[in-house]
Amino acid sequence: MKFVPFLLKNIFRNKRRTLLTMTSIAVSLFLVATLLTVLSELENPPMAPDSALRLVARHKVSLANILPLSYRQKIQEVDEVDAAVGAAWIQGIYEDPANIFAQMAIQADQIWEVLSDVKIPEDQKQAFVKDRTGAVAGKKLADRYNWKVGEKIVLKKGLWPADFELTLRGIYEAQDESALYFQWDYFNEAMNNQGIVGWYWIKAKSAEAVPRVAQKVDAMFQNTTAPTKTESEKAFVLGFISMMGNVQLMIKTICTVVVFAIILVAANTMAMSIRERAREIGILKALGFRRSRILGLLLGEAMSITLIGAIIGSVGARLVFSGVDMYEMTAGFMQRFLVTGETLAICIGTGLLIGIVASVVPAVQAARRPVVDALRRVV
């Protein structure tokens, strides 16, 4: 501890250099923290509390293939199934084709059994179920378009050749507040009762039952013309993300390269600063400081600089992103954008590592140099 003032003196000896090094590390680790957050949000999307109870059954060939309406009853009769509703993806146009958000037609009679973790006033629930052209929207979505309960929402012909004129009956709060739901019955009527179901949303009685339900449902339809693929809600969501390709590899590669670049820059700075002090270090040794102590002092100095830079960069990222509405910025693509404690720990750990790697070579050299040599060199 008694060496802390000495360390600080050395750190601030060349204020400008220290500041520049710290800033370049802070800026780079800000980027690393941002990229790691993108990665963690994609790999581990926030899931709703009852998500572990829900499954999605879709056509095995692709989500764009439709399933028979008759499947619903069969699924409901499977052991350990609590509720099941058919749903269809709508993709209508709300005012402008650039307004993209999730729109789903859903069988309303059991919607609140399946979406059991959605927070919505009881009267709004009932109002939605009773109104054939009713709709409910997530709070974030409603805020984005400034919708109020009672709002008329018109979805123009998009994926389906029909317009849907809806009345907003409720606004819900949930983990995912980016979707609009309306009654599948209304959709079906507009589509001349073709009975189009894109997927079934199933709620199991317990989380342990989920794999058993998935297996039973798939086995039931295996040899039909419309075989299903049933998976947990989380697996379903992750499936979408994996479609984007190897984002993980891309982000990890960029982070590694950036960290390597900082190491080079920091190593250069440390080498300069240690070289300039060759004589001082000789004097310290002449005074009786041990090699290990000198090495410790030099490493400590470098690590302090990189650590402070890393803290500024990563904590800065956390503060910046907590103040920015990423849902708005990314037009609903990122549900949330939280720089997690884990990400902070990785960034700060990386900062320490950069300090060690960047200074170890010049520090060891300096600690090893014979006193006479060091004193002679500069004089």
Partner 1 sequence: MKIPLKYNLRSLWVRRFSTAMTAFGIGLTVAVVLFMLALIHGLDSTFVQTGHPNHLVLIRQGSQNETASYFDKAIFDIVRLLDGVAKNANGEPLASGEIAVLINHERTGGDTTNVLIRGVSPVAFELRPEIRIIEGRRLRGGVRELIVSQSLSKRFKGMKVGDKVRIASSDWPIVGIFDASGTAYDSELWADYNDVAQEWNRPIYSCIVLRATDAQAAAQLRKRIEGDRRISLEVHDQKAYYQAQTQSSVALKALGVIIALVLGIGSCFAAMNMMYAAVMGRVKEVATLRALGFPRFSILASFIVESAILGLAAGILGCLLALPLNGMSTGTMNFLTFSEVAFNFRLTPSILLQGLLFSLAVGIVGGFLPARRAARLKLIDVMRD
Question: Does 254 help bind partner 1 (rule: CB under 8 A)?
Answer: yes
What phi and psi, each to the nearest 5 degrees, are found at residue 128? -65, -45
CB of 329 to partner 1, least distance (A): 9
Q: b or e along 81-92 (b: 16 or more beta carbons within 10 Å of the residue's beta carbon)?
A: bbbbbbbbbbeb
CB of 289 to partner 1, least distance (A): 26
User: Residue from 140, 229, 277, 285 that binds partner 1 (CB under 8 A)?
Assistant: 229
Question: Does 48 help bind partner 1 (rule: CB under 8 A)?
Answer: no
Of 30 and 147, CB closest to partner 1:
30
Which candidate, 218, 222, 279, places its Cα nearest to that of 78? 218
Give the interface segment with partner 1, choosing from 80-88, 118-126, 239-247, 341-349 (CB under 8 A): 239-247
Q: What is 122-165 written as a DSSP string? A: HHHHHHHHH-TTEEEEEHHHHHHTT--TT-EEEEBSSSSSS-EE
C-alpha distance from residue 110 to each of 115, 194, 201, 266 (Å): 9, 21, 10, 60
Question: Does 15 help bind partner 1 (rule: CB under 8 A)?
Answer: no
CB of 350 to partner 1, least distance (A): 14
Of 113 and 276, CB closest to partner 1:
276
**46 C-beta neighbours (distance < 10 Å), count:** 12
**328 C-beta neighbours (distance < 10 Å), count:** 12
DSSP H or E stretch at residue 215? helix 210-221
Question: Does 12 help bind partner 1 (rule: CB under 8 A)?
Answer: no
User: Residue from 1, 243, 287, 379 that binds partner 1 (CB under 8 A)?
Assistant: 243
What phi and psi, each to the nearest 5 degrees, are found at residue 84? -150, 135
Which candidate, 305, 314, 309, places its Cα nearest to that of 345? 314
Question: Does 16 help bind partner 1 (rule: CB under 8 A)?
Answer: yes
Say how many residues touch partner 1, by CB under 8 A: 54
Residues with Cβ within 8 Å of residue 45, at least 6 apart in sequence: 234, 237, 238, 241, 335
What is the CA 131 to chain-centroid distance, rounded? 36
User: Residue from 10, 34, 230, 314 that binds partner 1 (CB under 8 A)?
Assistant: 34
Of 257 and 372, CB closest to partner 1:
257
E-assigned strand segments in 139-286: 152-155, 164-172, 179-183, 199-204, 228-232
Question: Does 366 help bind partner 1 (rule: CB under 8 A)?
Answer: no
What phi and psi, each to the nearest 5 degrees, are found at residue 226? -125, 75
Of 48 and 353, CB closest to partner 1:
353
Window 89 to 128, contacts with partner 1 (CB under 8 A): 91, 93, 97
User: Residue from 8, 12, 46, 65 that binds partner 1 (CB under 8 A)?
Assistant: 65
**56 C-beta neighbours (distance < 10 Å), count:** 23
Window 162 to 181, contacts with partner 1 (CB under 8 A): none
Question: Does 158 help bind partner 1 (rule: CB under 8 A)?
Answer: yes
Which candidate, 154, 161, 114, places its Cα nearest to that of 135? 154
Of 19 and 207, CB closest to partner 1:
19
User: Residue from 219, 261, 324, 372 that binds partner 1 (CB under 8 A)?
Assistant: 261
CB of 219 to partner 1, least distance (A): 15
Binding positions for partner 1, rule: CB under 8 A: 16-17, 20-21, 23-24, 27-28, 30-31, 34-35, 38, 60-65, 91, 93, 97, 156-159, 161, 223, 225-227, 229, 239, 242-246, 250, 254, 257-258, 260-262, 264-265, 267-269, 271-272, 330, 333
